[in-house]
Amino acid sequence: MPKKNFNKVPSTILAKLADFSQDDVVVACAKRLRPEDIVRYAHLGLGIIGGKLATPAPALPNPGAGRYSRANVEGREKVRHDLPMVYKDFSFDVPNFGDWSKGSHEVVQTREVYQREFYPPKQVELSVSLLGEGQGYHIVKFAIDQVLNRHTDNFERELLYNLNILQENVGSADVFPSAASLAEYAATVSVDWQILPPGKVDDVIQRMLHGKQAVSPSQEKTMRARIEVLAKLHPKAYVTGTDRFVRYFGAQFADNLIVFENVQYGNAIYVMHDEWAELSKRSRIDLLRGDRTNFERIEHRLGWEDKLNRTLIQYGWAIEE
């Protein structure tokens, strides 16, 4: 199926939007599929079981489907060549006297670099539903589970994002008025943060997962490994969202120092160095959108634990003995 991305919102989509009587819209498309067509969408979990069409539960699209699907779960960075360059410190370990057997020490270099703008992972899900059936065919709806309002900021950018996710995974994309209210969908991305007291790793995980949609064994294993690292640093509290998904969780080390992790795709950890009272009023996407002056993003590569420790110290944290 075609997977070419849209560089801008197609004029046909914009013309269709102009005729809508309501402002809340969803990116979706409907396809008439014969039984032999179903295999083309097996990667989404669509299949025939016992002669009946089986549709999957809503899920994050495979990040391998394309660059927008990857950005949906990992986020992406944009180098701003149009903005003035800034100075940034880089730290790395070097051997003492050129000999690793004699130990090592940290060296800090200051370089002039381009500013980078980070677009956080939206983690929107793709849903597949059966609309109707006929003799030898099924009518199937593919939809991105996010309502967009035409009067919100960055509407066209968000619309383009979702169009491309559907295009990459289904091969076509369209827009429809939404029957659901914006408030119902906004509740899935806004944050009511819950502060959890410190405790044993098992207790922390149990409290974080209580009342949430179940995570897979591999996700829970990743979550446990991340919390074990955070626990060794003695946070004053743990933080998790109160919606039904365990998207982001983390630890609070000071009023202005929070660390966030992601259980679905643990590709990076985020160190927020701003007032938590203000941050807690913002959605998880807004927390990480834009320039990176209020947070540090540390990829989970070899040595990330040491880099996290150094970053926390850089922003005034000291471990409590």
Classify residue 103 by burial, with Cβ atoms within 10 Å: 0-12, 13-18, 19+: exposed
* The pLDDT of residue 79: 87
> Is 5 part of any domain?
no
Residues 211 and 140 in one domain: no
pLDDT tops 50 at residue 182: no
Last residue of a domain, one of 166, 186, 206: 186
Number of domains in the chain: 3
Residue 6 lies in a domain: no
Q: How many CB atoms lie within 10 A of CB 59?
A: 13
Higher-scoring residue by pLDDT: 15, 262:
15
Q: 2 falls in which pLDDT band (50, 70, 90)?
A: very low
> Do residues 204 and 294 both lie within one domain?
yes
Residues 162 and 221 in one domain: no
Tell me the residue range of the domain where 178 lies.
11-75+120-186
Residue 168, in any domain of the structure? yes
Q: Are the CB atoms for 28 and 142 separated by under 8 Å? A: yes
Structure tokens at 227: 């919390």
- Domain check: are 173 and 245 in the same one? no
pLDDT of residue 156: 92
| pLDDT number for residue 219 | 82
CB 244 within 8 A of CB 125: no
Q: What is the pTM of this model?
A: 0.59
Please report whether residue 3 resides in a domain.
Answer: no
pLDDT value at residue 179? 66
Percent of the chain with pLDDT over 70: 84
Return the pLDDT at 162.
Answer: 95
Using pLDDT thresholds of 50, 70 and 90, give the confidence band for residue 274.
confident
**pLDDT digit string (tens) for 303-316?**
899 999 988 888 88
Q: Are residues 239 and 296 in the same domain?
A: yes
Q: Are residues 141 and 157 in the same domain?
A: yes
- Position 4 scores a pLDDT of 78
Name the token pair of 229. 């690292």
Pairing of strands 268-272, 137-144: unpaired
263-283 per-residue burial string, b: 16 or more CB within 10 A, e: under 16: bbbebbbbbbbbebeebeeee
Q: Do 256 and 109 reside in the same domain of the chain? A: no
Q: Does residue 164 share a domain with residue 56?
A: yes
Per-residue model confidence as pLDDT tens digits over 215-248? 788 888 888 889 999 999 999 889 887 665 566 7
- Domain-located, residue 127: yes
Mean pLDDT over the full length of the chain: 82
Residue indicated by tokens 């990667």 = 43
Task: Give the model's pLDDT for residue 222.
Answer: 85
pLDDT number for residue 106: 84
User: pLDDT over 90 for what percent of the chain?
Assistant: 20
Identify the weakest region by mean pLDDT among 48-57, 83-92, 180-189, 282-291.
180-189
Residue ending a domain, among 118, 143, 170, is 118
**Residue 321 covered by a domain:** no
Which residue shows structure tokens 């819209």? Answer: 25
> Could you read off the pLDDT of 18-55 as tens digits, one per residue?
888 888 899 998 888 888 889 999 999 999 988 889 99
Q: Give residue 119's Cα distance to chain centre.
A: 9
- On whether residue 1 sits in a domain, the answer given is no
168 with 199, same domain? no
CA–CA distances in Å: residue 248 to residues 193, 202, 270: 10, 18, 10
DSSP 8-state symbol, 294: S
The pLDDT of residue 186 is above 60: no
CA triple 227-71-282, angle to 5 deg: 60
Contact 93, 86 (CB under 8 A): no
On whether residue 66 sits in a domain, the answer given is yes
Q: Say if residue 178 is in the same domain as residue 220.
A: no
Condensed to tens digits (0 to 9), the pLDDT of residues 108-156 reads: 888 898 988 877 788 899 999 888 887 788 888 899 998 899 988 889 9
Q: Which of 142, 164, 186 is the last residue of a domain?
A: 186
- Specify whether 198 is located in the same domain as 92: no
- Domain match, 28 and 157 both: yes
